[in-house]
Structure 1
């Protein structure tokens, strides 16, 4: 009998590919692991409102969202690591002065700047044109994507309850400019939107990331970090891979992320999650 484990799965590039397709084997891996008595949590840079039903309906025991800003056990919000209003205001002022598009993530709300929807419409259209899949479950296609409805809701920004921002710069110097301006108080990372590279990134409070929130959640659950498996592919997964007993990089992860992993599985649509779960006895 294998001792129960807890697995944390990134979403973009791990659970789903860039064309937002979920492999049948990934769904089977998650559902079989839970049936075998293991816990499976999402661990994503997305806010909870960006975890669409085709993802959540797979069935998970909880989630770390907004890059570590929030954590849920089941549907119960148990950890909130939000920014002071003054910090949010400072960040928004910098983005607006720099001409960057951006959006703010609260637990159950997104606050986009006016240009965000059009940027993402172009990204999704490009993915739909360039990606051909056989099998799997798609999140949505092109203008039907649920994110576009959220990003079209442009209104006054909230300065309370915000855990993270995502910035979208006009060129590849954006990350350097954000890091120079904000790194003294914030955790700034890049490379989370494949189309944009260093032209985009994420900002949380200093010390807030998936890894540090996972440690808080494990403490609340009474589980040791040694029992945890973290699987991811992107810059915002590095701390998760470091704190979990086993950190696994996807085959499609960047070399920088793979360097922080204990092992590498196959790619997202090449049974990557299924192979990782199988290797460690969850299925």
Structure 2
């Protein structure tokens, strides 16, 4: 059973919370912290709004996550926003920008995938990178010890199914790309080549290595999309809580009235937060919601 911290603040007026997925709601792979599920559901039953705010595409929000129940979502690192099931914000790249980005990745030999609202477009090597991670994670979770070289993951995992679907890329409707490389200089090279027109940040998928990262158009991030969404909802950013752990959460932490970094966040992310909660393994979302009176 998860721990519950003391109540530091009394119940306040209805709030809105934006919650990251990987490293915030999820520990690793697709394991959702029990306390996070209860925190989200209890906060909503108390009259608060809870939105997902993730770098994942909508198609990557699998039932284990979506079935928790949310009032809406921000996906693709700010590329899209939904109120309920209604898509209300789309911030996609011009086709020429997508072509330029793909050309650079292919010339550099980097694996990558593109995110539209409801589709993923992977390069041929992406599926194997994720399969290796999920297989290793399963072994670690089982406590087997050393990871045999022969361990592989099956395509039963929904993410692997999506990444195995290699087909011609779409040049329209793309909001974000993720690049994956073992070369630790990859981020620097992508940033140097694309940052004049794109927002390039270092990897937010830790198991993909320090050479990975993600790319949106300049100005497109979770924080700027949150401000657009709050305007649609008629809410002030002062009422908002943002909770996350990765570099793509920084702008979210900056624009929300209270920016909360997970205990497992990097020091760079924590430096942009108003406060730090406990880690994902120690009920970070629950403790943050409890501290601010949502539950």
TM-score normalised by L of structure 2: 0.91
Aligned to 2:3: none
User: Is the contact between residue 81 and residue 208 of structure 1 (CA under 8 Å) also seen in structure 2?
Assistant: yes
- Counterpart among 136, 144, 148 of residue 126 in structure 1: 136
Instruction: Tell me how far 1:132 sits from its aligned partner.
Output: 5.5
Q: Deviations over 1:109-161 (max 9, x none)?
A: 0000011000100111122222359xxxxxxx942321000001100000000
TM-score normalised by L of structure 1: 0.95
Indicate yes or no: 2:20 matched with 1:10.
yes
Aligned to 2:98: 88
Superposed, which structure 2 residues align to 1:133-144 within 5 Å? 142-143=153-154, 144=156
Instruction: Tell me how far 1:22 sits from its aligned partner.
Output: 1.0
Where 2:176 maps in the other structure, the secondary structure is strand
- Structure 2 segments unaligned to the other structure (5+ residues): 1-10, 144-151
Where 1:27 maps in the other structure, the secondary structure is helix
Q: Deviations over 1:204-227 (max 9, x none)?
A: 000000000000000000000000
User: Is the contact between residue 190 and residue 197 of structure 1 (CA under 8 Å) also seen in structure 2?
Assistant: no
Aligned to 1:205: 217
Cα distance in 1 for residues equivalent to 2:168 and 2:288: 43
Cα distance in 1 for residues equivalent to 2:153 and 2:280: 21
Q: Deviations over 1:219-255 (max 9, x none)?
A: 0000000000000000000000000000000010011
Indicate yes or no: 2:254 matched with 1:242.
yes
Cα distance in 1 for residues equivalent to 2:30 and 2:230: 29
Cα distance in 1 for residues equivalent to 2:203 and 2:107: 22
Instruction: Tell me how far 1:191 sits from its aligned partner.
Output: 2.4
Aligned to 2:226: 214
Cα distance in 2 for residues equivalent to 1:118 and 1:162: 23
- Counterpart among 58, 64, 80 of residue 70 in structure 1: 80
Aligned to 1:230: 242
User: Is the contact between residue 165 and residue 203 of structure 1 (CA under 8 Å) also seen in structure 2?
Assistant: yes
User: Is the contact between residue 19 and residue 131 of structure 1 (CA under 8 Å) also seen in structure 2?
Assistant: no
Q: Deviations over 1:92-111 (max 9, x none)?
A: 00000000000000000000
Question: 4+ runs of 1 displaced by more than 6 Å?
Answer: none
Considering only aligned residues, what root-mean-square deviation do their CA atoms show, in Å? 1.3
- Counterpart among 94, 100, 122 of residue 110 in structure 2: 100
Where 2:280 maps in the other structure, the secondary structure is coil
Indicate yes or no: 2:35 matched with 1:25.
yes
Question: For the pair shown, which has the larger CA radius of gyration, 1 or 2?
Answer: 2
User: Is the contact between residue 79 and residue 91 of structure 2 (CA under 8 Å) also seen in structure 1?
Assistant: yes
- How many residue pairs end up in the alignment? 276
Cα distance in 2 for residues equivalent to 1:226 and 1:197: 35
- Counterpart among 268, 272, 281 of residue 284 in structure 2: 272
Superposed, which structure 2 residues align to 1:128-207 within 5 Å? 128-131=138-141, 142-143=153-154, 144-207=156-219
- Structure 1 segments unaligned to the other structure (5+ residues): 134-140
User: Is the contact between residue 167 and residue 202 of structure 1 (CA under 8 Å) also seen in structure 2?
Assistant: yes
